[in-house]
Amino acid sequence: MPRIDYPSLIQELIRQLRRMPGIGPRSAERIALWIVQRKEAHADQIAEAMIKTISGIRSCVRCGFFSEADQCAICSDPGRDAQSLCVVEQATDILSLERSGAFHGLYHSLGGRLSPLDHVGPEDLRIDSLVRRVKEDQLQEVIFALSLDVEGEATLSYLGDLLNLEGVSVTRIAQGLPAGSGLESADELTLTRAFNGRTVFRP
Ligand SMILES: [Zn+2]
């Protein structure tokens, strides 16, 4: 006798939900049933928000942060200190730093870090556009806020040498962030301290 399961539409919904980060089989089933059984779930609104977000959000052409226009809210704000640029690994790091209030300049997300083991080389990161900004935007200081693990250090070393040749002041945020965990997990006070205690990068 065939085993009775949910109708295939519900099974497919569960399968799709399971693809989301942090959603296991139990949670996927619970969410799917909530969507199907509860009117107040308004799942059509959830679906609409997902579709609108996918088509309406892009990466800022200058810094790589999330944006609804070509340039994000930070890059198009004339009140920012346009002479300081903070280089981070991921667009989400920008939000961590913004929330800390430690920095009022502009950002540049690399979209990752150098990692030979994972086959991530300079050509895979937003390095050309970084060098272009340093050359064209008359920056005074480039501050690196990268992870303090081996790959973060290798990325800093490579880019620090590259940007020193351009005659801009290259600094790095102070130690004190948890190694390997990125900026996301650091609290605001730690980020502010790391920023204020930044040091000059020496090759
Ligand atoms: Zn931007």
pLDDT of residue 3: 84
A 10 A CB-CB count for 194 gives: 22
Domain total in the chain: 2
Beta strand pairing call for 169-172 and 199-200: antiparallel
The neighbour count for residue 121, using CB atoms within 10 Å, is: 12
Q: Give the distance (Å) from ligand 1 centre to CA of residue 11.
A: 40
Near ion ligand 1, which residues have CB within 5 Å? 60, 62-63, 65, 72, 75
Q: How far is Cα 131 from Cα 190, in angstroms, rounded to an integer?
A: 29
- In the chain, helix, strand, coil percent, each to 5? 45, 15, 40
Confidence of residue 65 (pLDDT cuts 50, 70, 90): very high
What's the pLDDT tens digit per position in 148-201? 888 899 999 999 999 988 889 999 988 656 555 567 777 888 888 888 889 898
Please report the pLDDT score of residue 197 as a whole number: 85
User: Ligand 1 centroid vs 33 CA: distance in angstroms?
Assistant: 40
- 37: CA distance to ligand 1 center in Å? 42
What range does the domain containing 149 cover?
A: 78-200
Amino acid at 21: P
Tell me, yes or no, whether 176 and 84 share the same domain. yes
Are 83 and 50 part of one and the same domain?
no
Q: How far apart are CA 73 and CA 187, in angstroms?
A: 23
| Cα of 7 from ligand 1 centre, angstroms | 46
Per-residue pLDDT, 31: 95
Return the percentage of the chain with pLDDT > 70, whole number: 95
174: CB partners within 8 A, 6+ apart: 193, 194, 195, 196, 197, 198, 199
Q: How far apart are CA 132 and CA 116, in angstroms?
A: 24
Tens of pLDDT, residue by residue over 28-50, are: 999 999 999 987 878 999 999 99
Question: Is residue 29 domain-resident?
Answer: yes
